[in-house]
Structures are given as structure tokens and as C-alpha cells.
Amino acid sequence: MKELVLSPDQERAVLSDATAIVVVAGAGGGKTEVVAHRIERLLLDSEDDAYRVVAVSYTVKASDELRARLADRLGDLHRRVDTDTIHGFALSLLRQHGTRIGLPVEPEILSRNEDRAELLGSWLTQSGRSVPEDPSLMLAQFDLARARCQDVPLLADWREALRLNGAVDYAAMLERAVELVEGAWMSQHLKRIYQHVVVDEAQNLTPAQYRFLTLVIGDPSAEHLHAVLVGDERQSIVDFAGADRTLIARFADEYGAERIELNTNYRSARTIIDVGRVVADALGQPTSGSESVEFPAEGSVALQECSTEEAEGKFVSDWIAALLSDGLDVAVVAPGEATTVQLEQIAVLARSAASLRSVRDALTVRNIESASSSTEDDWVASSAAKAVIEMIEYRSAPDHIASRRRLAKLAGKAGADWEEPESLLQSSTDPSVVALARLTDAKDAEALLEATEDLEIDDPDWPDDLGQLNLAWRSFVDRTDTVERTFGNFRQHIARCQRGDSLDPGVRLLTVHKAQGREFKAVAVIGCNEGQFPDFRAKTSAEKAAELRTLYVAISRPARALLLTRAKQRQTRFGLRVTDPSSFLAIVAKAISR
């Protein structure tokens, strides 16, 4: 996106000196640029000061993009900004000051459900309780209750299990950080370090996150940190994870915040904006009548019915192939704008991941690359690289039980009791893991990474994995002072990278929830049938409104071309069944028939 010439409202958001501000920025409103401009202004106005700015967002990807923009504009001055996710910021406080509330110097981070299930099972067994058949269901109940600041049976016991083991899971990062920040010393310490807090994607805040952030900001009735919340209630689609879109209004009320609306769309073409307006009207949250579009592009919106899901997949793959070979029609782009489209500028979105299968198969037949969001487990592929990560974890805290168990499993010694990693790795039947034994005496994280360059690993995935690890190290060095480049800090940075949705080259195949915050030139939204999108489980008016907000997010991702498709018949466990078109298609059809 080109550099913004700030509109009056955007300039107001950048220059305001109010102690609390709410910026309502719709899809394509240039909010990241506005946030970057504001932080840039704050830092340039205070070059001789030492205070820091904390800027948190919903995803690692969003916070990294903001950091990159600030680095381009400000050089070393950007290092005065702590950009992270809310959980990441909470964890950084715990790792620096957690001993004040009884946490070990290196708390064990239970990010994998299998590790949490293992601890839950052993805790319940030791306390004479039965272990549930599916511990993940109980853990999911715990997570949702904690996000909403509620209580459920056995949650207190789970908290105690974490506490006694010196461990935190993601929800506990916030809970323990709240416990830390509630202390008078920590509250004053934060005020000495920071003067400004910026919260992006605020429509996704949970009550637990809101509680933590407002404790950091300070009491609204007293002198507190300056705070800006940026978001759009129409794009709040993660209420299933505890998000509460009313928290933006609550903040505005509690802190007497100045409200600024950004009404210029810098991303999407006219026809796509028209569809967004109609969906917003259906939500009862209409866009401002003064909304305008910056780029004079017509854009295109199309609906397509196909006979079966296989036919739907083929139609979408044909559409993608045409975009790649022929580009966009000159009639839908702005004057002088390039019509070419790259793989990564195309996305196929669905309400659920299962609905993407037919498109993925059709793209494979055409030899068109596709990619989905990465997970912690597939961030690297080779057993050697996975073992390197666990060795870094081991060096940061040799007593972390979950990490010791994973390292033993990678060495082919699952369940083994071991003392030293060198003998464990040498006993492995995997030559790639055996080769890592020479790394166990590396003096620090940098030396360990340098030594991996000399290893002879016979695994086709190793070169790419090594590149991934080195890329993580370079970004770690960029954001970390030399004295802070410890094994523990590097392991947490790797965990941050693993959550960053780094994708391989290819057309993006994503659920709508994974696509939030992203933008593309062309987007196909598939599976637009009743029961698929909207989801069949949406029964109440609130649940149906949440599905409509999910549609709003989906149709606001593309800049130039939007395609919505459905299959008139679907294969189910009962055989081929006739489908009903999504009620959402009628809303879109109404917009494009105007």
C-alpha cells in the first residue's frame, strides 16, 4: 500500500494529545499506517527522552509488520517501541519480574496441548481424581472460562498444578501478569518505563486481556499512561475464544476517551466497498455516510453456483489460473495500476478448514502451489531442527519436564529417564539427531546456531529448516540487546516466530478467522451454503450476528476481485445431499444489483 496522505480524521488520530483515544478504523482504513504515524510522531517529539512505547496487537504477524514499518522510518529510534502480542508482552513481564510472585527465573511455558494434558492427568491422578477420556475438552473449558474471567469446576486445581510446577500456559500468562501488575511496585515501575500504550485489533480483546491492559494503563480516575485502542466492532469474530466487542465502548466510557472514526478506504475497490456497506447495514452497524474510497478502481464481485464440491474446487482453481496467467481485467483496476497478480496475492477463504479440501486438490492437479497457516509443530520439518529447538529449551532450563520429554521422544527414547543430553542424543537411532550431540557444550545460543552450519545432516528438509532458524536468530538479534541474547530469550523468540503464521509460497488457503488482518488482491470465499457459512451451529441471534461479522471480514479482505461460490450438492456421510444457498449470498447479490 502506498504511503498515506493523511485525511483530516487520520491526522487528528496521529496528533491528538488526549490521554485516552478510541480509533474506529474499518477494513482498508489504513489503521496500521495511522498507528505507525502516531508512534513516529511521539518518538520524534521526544528524541531526548528515554521512555518507551508499548504497542500490542492480536497476532505476531501484525506486530511484526508494525515493527518493520517503524524500523524503516525511524532507524534505531524504533527500538524504543516494544511491539508484541498481548500474551507476549505479559510473558516478557513475567520473565523479567515473575520471581516477585513466586515464579522461577525461567517459568516453563506449556504451549502444546499434549504437555498440558500430561500435567493435568498426573495432577488429577495424584489428587485421587479420575482423568477425563479427552483432557483437551477440559482444558478448552478452562481456557474459555479464564478468557472471560469466569470460573468452572476444577479450574482452581489446574491453576494450583501450574503454580506448583512453576509453569504457565497461555491463559496463565495473563493471570499471573495481572497478579504481578496489581503490585504497587510493578505498577510504578511500568509508569517509569512507558508513557504510551497502543492496542491494535481491539475488537478481539477478551475480558482477561482487557483487565491486564487496563492495569498496565492505570486507574482512569488517576494519572495514567496515555492509551490508544484501535479496532472495528464489525470485525469482531473470535467471540468463541472469549472476545467481547463491547470492550472498546467500555474503555471509551471508563477513560472518557476521544473517539475518532477513519472513513477513507485505502484498500478496496468501489464494488467491494458497496458489498461491505450492505453487510454492515445488515449488522446494524452501518458505515459512515461520509465513507470514501482513495483508489478510483471499479473492482469486481461475482457469485457462482457449481454442481458439486469437486466442480466448485475446479471452478475456483480455473479462476486462479486465469488471474495468474492473464491478470486482472483492466476495467477493474485503477488507472495506471498493474493488472498482474502473484500467487501470494490470492486467497481462498472458507468458514472451516475442511471446506478448503476441494480447492487444494484442484490446485494440486493444476500444479499451482498453495499454503496454509503454519503451526508450532510444522514450523520446521526435520527431526534434527526440532531437536535443536528442544536443546535450546533445555539449555535455558534443564529441569523443564515437558521439554525433556520431547527431546527424549525425538531421540527415539520416549519415556526414558536421562541425565545428560549428549548421551541421550548419541543413543538415538536417527543419525540426524546423533549428529547434534556435538552441540551440547555450546557456550551460548549464538555459538550453538553457528555450530549447526558445520553439521552433515542427510535430510532434505534440513537446509530449509536451518534457514528458518537463522532467520529467527537475525530477527532476535535485531530486537534484543547483546546481554539479553540468552538461551531462554531466544527460545521464547522462536515460540513467537512459530505463532507468526509464516507461510510457504503459494495461493493462501485460510479459514476466515486466520485471514483476519490480512489483505489480498483477489479473494474467493467458498462453501457459501446454509450450514457451512453461516455455520449450522449458529442458533441464537448473537451467534447469527457473529457469523455475519465473519462474512464482513471475509468480503473485506480483497482489494480488487471478490468471488463467492457454492456447491449445489455436497458429499456427506449419508451420501450426496442437495444444499441450500447461504442467506449471505442474497445480501451480496443485493449489493451488486444496485
Residues 510 and 519: their CA atoms lie apart, in Å, by 12
Same-domain check for residues 227 and 284 = no
Residues 218 and 534: their CA atoms lie apart, in Å, by 40
Domain annotation covers residue 185: yes
By the 8 A CB rule, do 279 and 251 touch?
A: no
What is the number of structural domains in the chain? 4
| Residue 574 pLDDT > 80 | no
User: What range does the domain containing 16 cover?
Assistant: 8-91+178-265
User: Tell me: the pLDDT tens digits for 182-233?
Assistant: 999 999 999 999 999 999 999 999 999 999 999 999 999 999 999 999 998 8
Question: Poorest-confidence range of 102-111, 316-325, 376-385, 425-434?
Answer: 376-385
| Residue 250 pLDDT > 90 | yes
Domain annotation covers residue 516: yes
| Residue 47 pLDDT > 60 | yes
| Residue 501 pLDDT > 60 | no
Residue among 67, 7, 8, 82 nearest 32 (CA): 67
Same-domain check for residues 315 and 359 = yes
Same-domain check for residues 494 and 413 = yes
Domain annotation covers residue 102: no
Final residue of a structural domain among 498, 515, 533? 498
| Residue 55 pLDDT > 60 | yes
Same-domain check for residues 119 and 78 = no
CATH code of 205's domain: 3.40.50.300
How large is the C-alpha radius of gyration of the chain?
25
50-67 burial by CB neighbour count: b if 16+ within 10 A, else e? eebbbbbbbbbbbbbbbb
Domain annotation covers residue 97: no
Final residue of a structural domain among 231, 265, 299? 265
Task: Place 2 in a pLDDT band, splitting at 50, 70 and 90.
Answer: very low
By the 8 A CB rule, do 297 and 337 touch?
A: yes
Average pLDDT over residues 346-353: 92
Same-domain check for residues 277 and 291 = yes
Same-domain check for residues 477 and 545 = no
| Residue 54 pLDDT > 90 | yes
Same-domain check for residues 279 and 306 = yes
Same-domain check for residues 85 and 182 = yes
What share of the chain has pLDDT > 70, as a percent? 95
Average pLDDT over residues 477-495: 89
Average pLDDT over residues 400-416: 87
503 or 62: which leads in pLDDT: 62
Name the pairing type of β-strands 575-578 and 569-572.
Answer: antiparallel
CA dihedral 572, 557, 341, 323 (to 10 degrees): 40
Same-domain check for residues 144 and 201 = no
**How many beta carbons lie within 10 A of that of residue 340, not counting itself?**
12
Domain annotation covers residue 295: yes
Domain annotation covers residue 149: yes
Helices (H) and strands (E) in the chain, counts: 24, 18
Domain annotation covers residue 96: no
- pLDDT value of position 290: 45
Q: CA end-to-end span of the chain, whole Å?
A: 29
Same-domain check for residues 347 and 414 = no
> CA–CA distance from 268 to each of 4, 377, 380, 562 (Å)?
15, 35, 35, 10
- By CB atoms closer than 10 A (0-12, 13-18, 19+), residue 477 is middle
Q: Is the dihedral of CA 126, 131, 136, 142 positive or negative?
A: negative
Same-domain check for residues 184 and 72 = yes
Final residue of a structural domain among 249, 265, 281? 265
Same-domain check for residues 431 and 365 = no
What angle, rounded to 10 degrees, do the helices at 86-97 and 487-498 form?
170
By the 8 A CB rule, do 202 and 230 touch?
A: yes
- pLDDT value of position 573: 63
Domain annotation covers residue 223: yes
| Residue 375 pLDDT > 80 | no
